Amino acid sequence: MSDLSQVREVLFFFDDDAFEDTERPGFRRRVITGDELQLCFWRIKGGSSGSFLHKHDSNEQLGIIVRGGLDFRCSPDPDSQERKVLSAGDCYLAYKGIWHGDSIFIGDDEYDECWILDIFAPPRDDL
């Protein structure tokens, strides 16, 4: 007989009520954390602001654009002003120490939202 106290949730379904508002207006997220990685599913209202240029010294971040678009900076040089525009299906990899952010979120035609799946390894403590 198995000990049910050791059973962890393994299936997660798309559920609008599972997304939580954040301190940034227009930003909602759902966070799923495993032992070695973490998923942050962002739903960001098109045109929202509040993204700043930053880096993670202890985590890699893989971002996949699911809906809408992302116009942002991603470079090892924090002074670089080069911007990239990603659309649904595109992704980025911010290795440890790579500067990224200063984003403009482009809403899709259906929800007027930008959906991004951010995967962190190892999991972040602040999400």
Q: What is the pTM of this model?
A: 0.91
Dist. CA 91–CA 38, nearest whole Å: 16
| Cis check: omega of the bond before 76, within 30 degrees of 0 | no
Tell me if 5 is assigned to some domain: no
Region 115-125: mean pLDDT is: 97
Q: How far is CA 75 from the centre of its chain?
A: 17
Tell me if 76 is assigned to some domain: yes
As beta bridge partners, residue 27 has 44
Quick one: pLDDT at residue 117? 98
- Residue 65 belongs to what domain range? 28-121
Tell me if 9 is assigned to some domain: no
Position 15 pLDDT exceeds 70: yes
Region 81-93: mean pLDDT is: 98
The total of structural domains in the chain comes to 1
Tell me if 6 is assigned to some domain: no
Region 74-80: mean pLDDT is: 97
Tell me if 18 is assigned to some domain: no
Quick one: pLDDT at residue 4? 57
Mean pLDDT for the chain overall = 94
